[in-house]
Chains A and B, each alone.
Chain A
Amino acid sequence: MITLGDYLLVSAILFSIGFAGVMLRRNLIIILMSLELTLNAANLSLVAFSRFRVDPSGLPNYNAQVFVFFIITVAAAEVAVGLAILVALYRARQTTDVKDISQLKF
Chain B
Amino acid sequence: MMSPFLFWFFALMTLIFGAAVVINRNPVASALSLVVSFLGLAALFMSLNAYFVGIIQVLVYAGAVMVLFLFIIMLLNLQAEEQRRINWLASAGGIGVAIILLIQIAVTIGRFEAARQTFPPLSASTTDDVRNIGAALFRNYNLPFQIVGVLVLVATVGVVLLSKREPR
Contact = CB atoms under 8 A, between A and B. Distances in A.
A101 interface: no
**Contact count band on B:** 35 or more
Main secondary structure of the interface of A (DSSP, over half): helix
Main secondary structure of the interface of B (DSSP, over half): helix
Contacts of B118: 1-4
B48 A77 contact: no
A86 B78 CA distance: 12
A24 B95 contact: yes
Given A66-B140, A76-B65, 17 more contacts: A2-B7, A3-B118, A3-B119, A14-B15, A14-B18, A33-B69, A36-B65, A43-B57, A50-B50, A59-B132, A65-B129, A70-B141, A79-B68, A83-B68, A83-B69, A84-B158, A87-B162
Interface of A: 1-10, 12-21, 23-27, 29-30, 32-34, 36-37, 40, 43-44, 47-48, 50-52, 54, 57-60, 62-63, 65-66, 68-70, 72-81, 83-88, 90, 96-97, 99
